[in-house]
Amino acid sequence: MARITAGVACSHVPALGAAMDNGRTQEPYWHNCFAGFEWTRAWEAAQKPDVVILVYNDHATAFDMDFIPTFAIGCGERYKSADEGWGPRPVPDVIGDPDLAWHIAQSCILDEFDMTMVSRMDVDHGLTVPLSLMFGQPDVWPCRVVPLAVNVVTYPPPSGNRCYALGEAIARAVASYPEDLNVQIWGTGGMSHQLQGPRAGLINAEWDNRFLDDLVNDPQRLRHIPHIEYLRETGSEGIEMVMWLIMRGALGKDVRALHRHYHVPASNTAVGHIVLEPVG
Ligand code: DHB
Ligand code: FE
């Protein structure tokens, strides 16, 4: 039987990927930010997940105003790193797990979550930067990836409550998959940031840290944070944090935090990172 053994959350700032790709992570601006991911890289090397369900958002790369799926699951064999204007990031192709992905799609849809199935797409920084942060710079990624793209770019994104409930449905889907697999689920994006307009550069460390606290202590509070609070308190792109609630919902009632990191700033963004293990 497949098992969800851990949840990981992290920001996906494109400049973090560029700093790794260009060998600049030890420069003064970046050093402390990257230091907070070293623990996780060693832990991941020991955990050896077979598959990561990687909850992320596409930034008008694979999807644009022509198609706006709320929840899109990648059912393809492989995905290329997207060209976001500077050429594709020099990272390995992402290898999918079509059997598991179709199983999750079927289970979630019969569980009344209407997923969009995607067989072909390129993946942008939303997916590749978290892989780089957790796995470093290998020639091939050490596990298969089931991409789960969430619309947080065009209003209306899904509610935090809906995201949490989808996580619970994903947990049921994984638990009913017959193959013996070590599965992790990652929630990515955030934390507070606003990239445009008069409030560009907004960071709210107090709000972000309460969110990190309550991922462990009071996830029921987080489910009911309205969109307007994310917008007001965490900037226009802070809504990416609803994706962390899919990860959290998949872990069950109680979790233990194994590692936590918060760093400001990276580009315009507060970088948050937490590693959670289900308890019981
Ligand atoms: C930045 C952050 C993001 O989440 C993103 O998608 C693009 C840019 C930034 O801080 O530069
Ligand atoms: Fe983003």
| pLDDT tens-digit series, residues 35-56 | 999 999 999 999 999 999 999 9
Q: Whose CA is nearest to atom 8 of ligand 1?
A: 13
pLDDT tens-digit profile of 173-208? 999 999 999 999 999 999 999 999 999 999 999 999
Domain spans, the chain: 3-278
pLDDT in tens, 50-78: 999 999 999 999 999 999 999 999 999 99
Class of domain 3-278: alpha beta
Q: What is the pLDDT of residues 113-167, one digit of tens each?
A: 999 999 999 999 999 999 999 999 999 999 999 999 999 999 999 999 999 999 9
Going from the Cα of 176 to the center of ligand 2, the distance in angstroms, rounded, reads: 32
Pocket of ligand 1 (CB under 6 A): 12-15, 59, 189, 193, 195, 237, 267-269
If you search the block for the tokens 């899109």, which residue do you land on? Answer: 72
Return the structure tokens found at 120.
Answer: 């072909």
pLDDT the model gives residue 132: 98
The closest alpha carbon to 134, from 60, 185, 172, 181, belongs to: 185
Q: Is 224 a catalytic residue?
A: no
Give the Å distance between the CA of 182 and the centre of ligand 1.
30
- Over 90: is that where the pLDDT of 3 sits? yes
For residues 280 and 189, the model is more confident at 189
Total-model pTM: 0.98
Among 237, 241, 264, the mutation site with the greatest number of ligand 1 atoms within 8 A of its Cβ is 237
State the ipTM, two decimals. 0.98
- Angle at 158 (CA atoms; ends 156, 164), nearest 5 degrees: 165
Q: Which of 12, 193, 263, 273 is catalytic?
A: 193
Residue 87 to residue 269: CA distance in whole angstroms:
23
Which candidate in 12, 59, 103, 125 is catalytic? 125
Which residue, by CA, sits nearest to atom 6 of ligand 1? 13
Predicted pLDDT at 280: 82
